[in-house]
Amino acid sequence: MKKSERTEFILTKLQALYPNPPVPLDHSNAFTLLVAVLLSAQCTDERVNLVTPELFAKADNAHDMAKVRVPTILRIIRSCGLSPRKSKAISELSKILVNEYDGEVPADIEALERLPGVGHKTASVVMAQAFGVPSFPVDTHIHRLAQRWGLTQGKNVKQTEADLKRLFPRPTWNDLHLQIIFYGREYCTARGCDGTVCEICRTCYPNRKKPLVTKKA
């Protein structure tokens, strides 16, 4: 199967399985999405969704969050990985948003990436899901599946993102990012599929007999 055929099959299959993929992180606005995505680094979405109700009850906007003391934020999010660093970042970025953007989250990826604790992936998620700007956030899970499906030889998420953007139509990027994540969690898991088990892997590579060793991001 040629790469173009794999691309078309994968897109069709994922759109059929997840026609309207929801954002897995609970949020009510661009600010709460930004904070939730920041918290999700090295932490499950389920864990983030457990701690954010209390946090957002105290502050669901930059103006209020800037007034919350860092130890209070830390107490609430402690069960999330890297919580000391994240609590400081949430406080600092809230103050920057208040001082430089009137408390609003900027719809600009470069401005987002300059905020404390916000990397390219987090900024891309916010651009895609809060502002509807076509983006293709790539995490380690998407990186793994893209290799299994022969869509990239990327040695890192940056290269994988560029490869996926070249392959798939721009209007599909925002949904596709979520669709690949959901498929990876449900069918093509890190341990449950080695490149020879799930339907997409078997269809794309019917003659693959040995497990595929993927390059870590």
State pLDDT tens for residues 58-89. Answer: 999 999 999 999 999 999 999 998 999 999 99
* Residues taking part in catalysis: 121, 139
Q: Which two tokens stand for residue 81?
A: 């990985």
Q: Which domains does the chain show, CATH number per domain?
A: 3-20+138-204 (1.10.1670.10), 30-129 (1.10.340.30)
pLDDT value at 217 more than 80 = no
Asked if 142 and 130 count as a contact pair (C-beta separation under 8 A), the reply is no
| Segment 17-48, tens digit of pLDDT | 999 999 999 999 999 999 999 999 989 999 99
Q: pLDDT tens digits, residue range 151-170?
A: 999 789 999 999 999 999 99
Sign of the alpha-carbon torsion through 27, 28, 34, 35: negative
Q: What percent of the chain has pLDDT over 90?
A: 92
The Cβ-side half-sphere exposure at 213, using a 13 Å CA radius, reads 0
Residue 36 tokens read as: 């939730």
Query: What is the pLDDT at residue 111?
Result: 98
pLDDT of residue 194: 92
Mean pLDDT of 125-149: 95
Supply the mean pLDDT for the chain.
96
Answer positive or negative: Cα dihedral of 39, 42, 43, 45. Answer: positive
Query: At 1, is the pLDDT very low, low, confident or very high (cuts 50, 70, 90)?
Result: confident
pLDDT of residue 32: 98
